[in-house]
Structures are given as structure tokens and as C-alpha cells.
Structure 1
Amino acid sequence: MSTLARGLAGRTAVVTGGAQGIGAAVTERLCAEGCRVLVLDKSAEHGRAAVKRWREDGHAVSLVVGDVVDERTVRAAFAEVPAGWDPPTLLVNLAAGFVFKGLDAAPEDWRAALDPTLIGLSLVTREFVAHLPPDPVGAAIVNMASISAHIAQSGYLTYNTGKAAVLGFTRCAAQELAPRGVRVNSVSPGTVWNANNERYHREVLGLDRATAEADPEHGGRFLLGRFADPAEIAAPIAFLLSAEAGFITGTDLPVDGGYLAV
């Protein structure tokens, strides 16, 4: 197998939630790999600013603004793949509901937590599969789970339930799509120092990154003694999409600094 065959150059990828945080890091990584990237993000502000920057850097990036739980938006996203691009054969499902509630969660809390994480995930994946070419060589999907999918956390019932369901969806989709040669995996990040986590640590906990990472209840819970940078999550996602991971499907890759090992 040649180096080119192992890479992602020239492929078309779809990234949901691809304009912010980990999603932006994934888009940047795929652009660096030579992919054309269709970003589906519900934030017009973040999406347009990010796409403008990537295009100025010479990357082929297109944006669809909308919510993954809306069927019309999802259908439109795949119908709007720019002319001259190959059909998407790579998909990264990052859009999710970030609602942190316990048993006191109301029905609307559950819908806000689970609709993007599960219904949106299923709608995008279904549409992606429907638009695959007849012989989708190297087709691969990576879903975003979390260390929270593997553990119990007080007050996180809504979030952890959704992320645990992502693991089940990944295994079942991998079985269903294997006959077509489509691989499906997930990643489970630990705490990532992105804009949202930085805001939480600074405004709620009064901690900057160095102080938070030195705290045994925060960074100290990870064997590596720190949080991840978004690029450190994007790299294993790119690996799972590539032919280097050609015999990996139906599994979850913890990218957690050793959190789940202790």
C-alpha cells in the first residue's frame, strides 16, 4: 500500500459541529490532510468566520448552517456538496446536546440532551450512507462519544446517557454497514481545553488552565496530569478515518490521558 493510499488527500468529508472547538480542530486537520470538507454547524457566526479563514488559507471548505435534528437541513447539506467535489466518503459526527442534569431533568432537558446526540447522529449518518457511491472505497465514520459514556458522574445523567448511547449506535451501525465496506468507530475524549471548558473553569471555578491541571480533582484525575488540546482529539479521528485503520470497526478509542485506566 502506498503512502498516498494511506492518506486522505482528495477525499470529501462531512463534519457536523465542525466550526467550533473540537469540530474546528477536526476540520483543520482534515484540511491539512488535503480533504475537501463540508461543515454542518448551527452557528452562522462561528461557521462563516471559520470558513472564511480556512478558505483564505487555501483550503476547500463549504458551509451549511443548520441543526442536525432538522431533516430538511440534513438533506440540503448533502444536496449542496459543491460541484467538482467527489461524493462524501468520510463522516465525523460531532454535534451533540450539552445538557447536564440528574433525575430532576424535565422532558425538555432530555430532548435537548438527546435530540442532537442521537436523532441528529442518526439523520446525518442515514443521509451520508444514502449518498455514498456504489463502491465506497475507504468509507468511514467516526462518532463523538466521551469518557462520560463509560462512567457514572453525579449530575450528568442526561449527558452520560446520550454519550453511552453513541457507543451502542456505533457498534450497531458498524455491523449494519460492514457489508458495504463502511467502517464505523467512535472516540471518547477526556476533558479538552476548548473555549467552553476554559470559560467554565475561569468563571465558575475561578481556575486558569495551569491551576486547574494542577488540581487533583481536575487535571490530577488524568494519568498525564493535564487536559487535552483539541488537536489531540482531531489526530486520532483522522487516523480512524484513514486506511491505516482499515481493520478497525465497531470500536471506541479512548483519548483520555489515562483517565479510564484508574
Structure 2
Amino acid sequence: MTSSSSRFAGRTAVVTGGAQGIGAAVTERLCGEGCRVVIYDKSADHGRITVDEFRRRGWQAHLAVGDVTDQAAVAAAFAEAPGDWSPPTLLVNCAAGFVFAGVEATPAQWRSALDPTIIGLSLVTQTFVNGLPPHEADAAIVNIASISAHIAQEGYLTYNTSKAAVLGFTRCAAQELAPRGIRVNSVSPGTVWNANNARYHREVLGLDRPAAEAAPEHGGKFLLGRFADPAEIAAPIAFLLSSEASFITGVDLPVDGGYLAV
């Protein structure tokens, strides 16, 4: 994505899970609109590739490698931002635990699902809020939920529960932080055609994207009859972070091709 817009010029954002998928698309969108972005990701390899690419485009991106469930690592990630950058006033929580299990889920599976998605979310948000400049009235947070947070799906108990918790966290944090002028919202994406989903459909189901989108049980589930591209999720996230959404807080925005409408 290339944009001449500069609505985030001079701002600094932190994007967890920002090296791949939706997180990378969000970083690309923000950088393209003048933002400086700290990509906080546990994958050093993917992170370096993403940061190097964005820097080649002349954008300001910085990589902080660490686990969102590690309080010391979270603190270090925020402290590592270049000294000539303004303090972060924008936050996108993309990091999550992708564990899909039903009632047979083990305690270890539950921890793997909930720790990054909720404990990590809380640690990063707490650190972000504590580091905001005094009297900051233009800060914004967007958390990534899922259409799975709104529905029941067989074998998805761990994942759906963790994403439903994101919705509760968003509403409560929005209420608590509103007196400081900090807005907190979430986005619930539908299925996104990213590298992981492409690999799953190809290797497990034997389907390329056109075939998967034509299948009633896959792309056919959505009113628009297709999956989303990561950039289509990044665009509404950028909107919620911007001053254009200055009177929006405590809400979840489904970006789901009409999935939840039927």
C-alpha cells in the first residue's frame, strides 16, 4: 500500500505481531501514512525481513523482538524505540495464541491460547498507557478480535473463548480509559488470505484461492463470496486509530464480508 496521506505524521505506534499477516499490513498502512512504527514480534527472522523492506521504502520502522507474555520483554520493547521518536500514542494488539481445541483441551493448550491473547494484551496495553505523555488526549488502541468471538464453532473452544475475552477487555478498557481521552476499540476480521491460510488450504485441503473462495463451506460462507486481503483489515484499523474516529470507543467493528449478517 502506498499513500500520500500524512494523517499519522509525527506519531509513533506499536504493533504487536507486526511482522506478518494483519500486523504487517497494519504496519505498512501506518508507515505509508507517515507514522513511525515499532514492530513488536517474537519472530526475529520475519521481523527483520519486514523492517528491512519497509526501510527500503523510506519508512521509519523499528523491530523489537520478544514475547508479549514476558513483562520485562514488553517493557524493553517500548524502551527500545529510537530516542528521536515521539512516545507511542497508538497501539494495535495483533499478537495472539492460535490454538484450536474443544472440550478435550489440556491446561497447556488453554495457556497457549489465553496467555498471548489476553495476558499479553493486558501487559502491552498497561505498558503503553503508563508510558503515554501527560495530558495525552489523542491516544488510541485497537485490539484484534475475530468473527469467532461472536459464534460457536466445533473444535474451536480455546480460540473462540480467547477472542471473546478480547471483546470484554476492549469494552472494560474503553470505560476505564475514557476519562483520559484514550479510545479503545476492536476489529473482528473474517477469514484473511494470508500465508498461513494459503498454506493450510493448499496443503491440507488441496485448494488454491479461487477454488477455496468458490467452495460454499469456505469463501461461500461470506456474503461477498471471498476472503479478505490483509490490507482490507488494516484500512479500518487505521481509521479507528485516526482522528476521524474521535467519537468512537468501546465498540467492535466486524470486517467480515457480511459473515455475521446471516
Runs of 4+ with deviation above 2 angstroms: none
**Runs of 5+ unmatched residues, structure 1:** none
Question: Does the 8 Å contact 2:6/2:33 carry over to 1?
Answer: no
The separation in 1 between residues aligned to 2:6 and 2:247, in whole angstroms, is 13
Query: Counterparts in 2 of 1:152-171, with a 5 A limit?
Result: 152-171=152-171
Query: Counterparts in 2 of 1:4-83, with a 5 A limit?
Result: 7-83=7-83
Query: Counterparts in 2 of 1:62-211, with a 5 A limit?
Result: 62-211=62-211
Question: Does the 8 Å contact 2:89/2:139 carry over to 1?
Answer: yes
Question: Does the 8 Å contact 1:36/1:61 carry over to 2?
Answer: yes
SS of match in other structure, 2:63: strand
Q: Give yes or no for the alignment of 1:228 onto 2:228.
A: yes
Instruction: Render the CA deviation track for 1:218-253: whole Å, top value 9, x for unaligned.
Output: 101100000000000000000000000000000000
Sequence identity (%): 77
Closer, same or farther in 2 for the Cα pair 1:54/1:6, shift >3 Å?
closer
Deviation at residue 138 of structure 1 after TM alignment? 1.3
Instruction: Render the CA deviation track for 1:187-234: whole Å, top value 9, x for unaligned.
Output: 000000000000111111111100000001110110000000000000
Deviation at residue 137 of structure 1 after TM alignment? 2.9
Deviation at residue 6 of structure 1 after TM alignment? 9.0
Question: Does the 8 Å contact 1:6/1:243 carry over to 2?
Answer: no
Superposition TM-score, scaled by structure 1 size = 0.97
The separation in 2 between residues aligned to 1:240 and 1:108, in whole angstroms, is 34
SS of match in other structure, 2:186: strand
Residue aligning to 1:240:
240
Amino acid aligned to 2:162: G
The separation in 2 between residues aligned to 1:137 and 1:252, in whole angstroms, is 21
**Runs of 5+ unmatched residues, structure 2:** none
SS of match in other structure, 2:165: helix
Amino acid aligned to 2:93: N
SS of match in other structure, 1:111: helix
Query: How big is the alpha-carbon RMSD for the aligned residues of Structure 1 and Structure 2?
Result: 1.2
Question: Does the 8 Å contact 2:91/2:141 carry over to 1?
Answer: yes
